[in-house]
């Protein structure tokens, strides 16, 4: 038995077998071999295994999300049959007498680089495919079982760190909890864990070399502890806590259908945040009044090219239809900083949180922005859509956005495509936007306060930096004063204002927010009912 302390990202408790995720490049060490043909046979076997896995993934994806989305797995199978690629690996094994993992990693990177240097955007994006298949091959060669979480039983995922794009690709049904050695409680990976309703701890000082797949792990987000190979008594206690938590959740369900109203009759809207189409289920299960933040950028992560207008339209339409006449606020692409997509070629930056992200990308790569706006406007016919724009710092930006929206409307009009003009709002998440919120309020229909970034930029603390978690204080008087200023600014202009950052779910502040006149709080689906309970107690 070993016990470790970490930082809780999502309060909840789970127990189950570990699946240790190791990054492929951590496993690639150059070692000498004596029998090249035997090594090539080993590569060959892993190739077959990789192709079989891809076939299974293809079938699963085709059944769940349709053949168009599954096609990538078919393409990967074909790439694994490419003779130039395989011959280059075999020839390196023979000439340098090195292990298959190393040869595959070296050749894979060489091929990926050839694609990455091409002129054509489509061909450039294939670099990520080459890296993907190479990593799969290496994982199979080194016997790591991480590839197919799809096939594993529900498990506690243990990793050094997880990126948002890795997290977004995981099959939620198979994850009992996340435990990572690094990571900040304010990162998007943490936010995803909260949205997925999954107990999660970061900053847990585990030695991943010592944890083997299948070892029993208790991830206790209530105490902030992780126990590896618990004693029988500890396992029994964990089972009891899990049952208690289930009972608490069951009691909360009794609040479904009830109003979000205080004893003295103040109403507030309680909405939910989502990261993908699949999350709508949790919104409905928890009886949220609407969707206050759909982080659309997650549609752009974990893939090798931009989602097309049609793909986006289908995703937005699905969410809108599932929500009926309830409001759905879709935020336009907020990629960059920790949310990376290789195909957008965002490059390395000294200060990514202060860098090329969100609306800055959309106002530069207007074709990417317009594609999303077309998909959004087309989908507006299927429900109660609002659109909001992230990371605003100036009136000029909002004017530019509105001009682009106008152009897109004209295009659709000319094509005879129908749409219902959605409400348009902006996120207030920079101190600059706070200071000019009166002018901004004139231009838009609503504000949604992004307290995660607002705290980061107000306190000059990188929300990704795990060393600063103790300094990142969203209760700082400067942050609370800004929230009050935003609420007053919006109301002076007759506009409504919500909070969609994580602070909206902070039950210690619910009363303060209601007193400030905040009209809507949008929280992770699992916090909707606890928040309703809190409001009804006030």
Which residues in this chain contact Mg ion in the complex, by CB under 5 A? 429, 450, 453
**Residue 452 engages ligand PEP in binding (rule: CB under 6 A):** yes
User: Nearest-CB residue to Mg ion?
Assistant: 453
**Closest to 16 (Cα-Cα) out of 211, 197, 214, 279:** 214
For residue 453, the minimal CB distance to ligand PEP (Å) is 3
**Binding-residue pattern over the window 495 to 514 for ligand PEP, x denoting contact by CB under 6 A:** -----xx-------------
**Residue 462 engages ligand PEP in binding (rule: CB under 6 A):** no
**Residue 453 engages ligand PEP in binding (rule: CB under 6 A):** yes
Residue 500 interacts, among ligand PEP, Mg ion, none and using kind-specific CB cut-offs from 5 to 8 Å, with: ligand PEP
For residue 494, the minimal CB distance to ligand PEP (Å) is 24
Binding segment for ligand PEP (CB under 6 A), chosen from 3-11, 44-52, 341-349, 444-452, is 444-452
For residue 483, the minimal CB distance to ligand PEP (Å) is 11
CA 152, 153, 154: angle at the middle one, nearest 5?
115
User: Hey, which residues between 402 and 421 contact ligand PEP (CB under 6 A)?
Assistant: none
In the bound state with ligand PEP, the residue whose beta carbon lies nearer, of 184 and 451, is 451
Binder of ligand PEP out of 39, 129, 429, 462 (CB under 6 A): 429
**Closest to 89 (Cα-Cα) out of 45, 39, 132, 125:** 39
- The HSE-up count of residue 4 (CA atoms within 13 Å, CB side) is 22
Residue 295 interacts, among Mg ion, ligand PEP, none and using kind-specific CB cut-offs from 5 to 8 Å, with: ligand PEP
For residue 325, the minimal CB distance to ligand PEP (Å) is 24
**Residue 450 engages ligand PEP in binding (rule: CB under 6 A):** yes
Binding segment for ligand PEP (CB under 6 A), chosen from 322-330, 375-383, 433-441, 448-456, is 448-456
| Beta-bridge mates of residue 446 | 425, 496
**Residue 335 engages ligand PEP in binding (rule: CB under 6 A):** no
Q: Is there a contact between 437 and 485 (Cβ–Cβ < 8 Å)?
A: yes
Q: Is there a contact between 380 and 409 (Cβ–Cβ < 8 Å)?
A: no
Using CB under 6 A as the binding criterion, the count of chain residues that bind ligand PEP stands at 11
**Binding-residue pattern over the window 287 to 326 for ligand PEP, x denoting contact by CB under 6 A:** ------x-x-------------------------------
Task: List the catalytic residues.
Answer: 188, 500
For residue 427, the minimal CB distance to Mg ion (Å) is 6
DSSP-H helix ranges across 117-219 = 121-141, 164-168, 188-195
In the bound state with ligand PEP, the residue whose beta carbon lies nearer, of 214 and 431, is 431
Q: Is there a contact between 163 and 185 (Cβ–Cβ < 8 Å)?
A: no
| Beta-bridge mates of residue 385 | 328
DSSP-H helix ranges across 142-260 = 164-168, 188-195, 232-253
Number of helical H runs and strand E runs in the chain: 20, 16
- Supply the DSSP string of 470-506, one letter for each residue: TT--TT-HHHHHHHHHHHHHHHHTT-EEEE-SGGGG-
**Residue 386 engages ligand PEP in binding (rule: CB under 6 A):** no
The number of angstroms, rounded, from the C-alpha of 8 to the middle of its chain's C-alpha atoms is 18
Phi, psi (degrees; rounded to nearest 5) at 423 = -60, 145
**How far is Cα 312 from Cα 375, in angstroms, rounded to an integer?**
6
**Residue 336 engages ligand PEP in binding (rule: CB under 6 A):** no
Q: Which residues bind ligand PEP (CB under 6 A)?
A: 191, 293, 295, 334, 429, 450-453, 500-501
């Amino acid at each position: 038995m070993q016990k470790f302390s970490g930082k809780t990202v999502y309060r909840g408790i789970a127990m189950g077998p570990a699946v240790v995720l190791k990054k492929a490049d951590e496993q690639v060490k150059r070692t000498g071999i004596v029998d090249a043909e035997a090594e090539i046979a080993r590569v060959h076997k892993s190739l077959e295994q990789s192709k079989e896995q891809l076939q299974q993934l293809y079938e699963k994806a085709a059944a769940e999300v349709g053949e168009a989305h599954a096609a990538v797995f078919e393409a990967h199978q074909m790439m694994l049959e490419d003779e130039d690629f395989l011959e280059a690996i075999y020839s390196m094994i023979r000439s340098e007498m090195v292990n298959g993992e190393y040869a595959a990693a070296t050749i894979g990177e060489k091929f990926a680089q050839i694609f990455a240097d091409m002129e054509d955007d489509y061909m450039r994006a294939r670099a990520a495919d080459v890296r993907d298949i190479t990593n799969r091959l290496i994982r199979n060669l080194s016997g790591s079982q991480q590839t197919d979480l799809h096939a594993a039983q529900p498990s506690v995922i243990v990793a050094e760190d997880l990126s948002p794009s890795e997290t977004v690709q995981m099959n939620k049904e198979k994850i009992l909890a996340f435990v990572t050695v690094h990571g900040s409680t304010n990162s998007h990976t943490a936010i995803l864990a909260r949205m997925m309703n999954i107990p999660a701890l970061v900053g847990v000082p585990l030695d991943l070399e010592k944890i083997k797949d299948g070892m029993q792990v208790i991830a206790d987000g209530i105490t902030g502890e992780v126990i590896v190979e618990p004693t029988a008594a500890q396992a029994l206690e964990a089972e009891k806590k899990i049952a208690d938590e289930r009972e608490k959740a069951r009691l909360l369900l009794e609040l479904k259908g009830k109003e979000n109203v205080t004893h003295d009759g103040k109403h507030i809207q309680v909405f939910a945040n989502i990261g993908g189409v699949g999350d709508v289920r949790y919104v409905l299960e928890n009886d949220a009044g609407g969707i206050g933040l759909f982080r659309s950028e997650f549609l752009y992560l974990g893939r090798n090219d931009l989602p097309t207008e049609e793909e986006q339209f289908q995703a937005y339409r699905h969410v809108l239809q599932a929500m009926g006449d309830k409001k759905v606020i879709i935020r336009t692409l907020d990629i960059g900083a920790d949310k990376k997509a290789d195909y957008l070629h965002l490059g390395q930056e000294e200060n990514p949180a202060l860098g090329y992200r969100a609306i800055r990308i959309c106002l530069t790569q207007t074709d990417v922005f317009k594609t999303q706006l077309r998909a959004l406007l087309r989908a507006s016919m299927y429900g109660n859509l609002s659109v909001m724009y992230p990371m605003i710092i100036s009136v000029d930006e909002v004017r530019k956005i509105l001009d682009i929206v106008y152009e897109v409307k004209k295009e659709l009009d000319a094509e005879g495509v129908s749409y219902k003009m959605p409400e348009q709002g902006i996120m207030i998440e920079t101190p600059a936007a706070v200071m000019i919120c009166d002018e901004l309020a004139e231009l838009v229909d609503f504000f949604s306060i992004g307290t995660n970034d607002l705290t980061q930029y107000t306190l000059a603390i990188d929300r990704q930096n795990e060393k600063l978690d103790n300094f990142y204080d969203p209760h700082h008087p400067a942050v609370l004063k800004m929230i009050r200023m935003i609420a007053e600014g919006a109301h002076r202009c007759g506009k409504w204002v919500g909070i969609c950052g994580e602070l909206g779910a902070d039950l210690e502040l619910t009363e303060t927010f209601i007193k400030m006149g905040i009209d809507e709080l949008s929280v992770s689906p699992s916090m909707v009912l606890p928040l309703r309970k809190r409001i009804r107690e006030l």
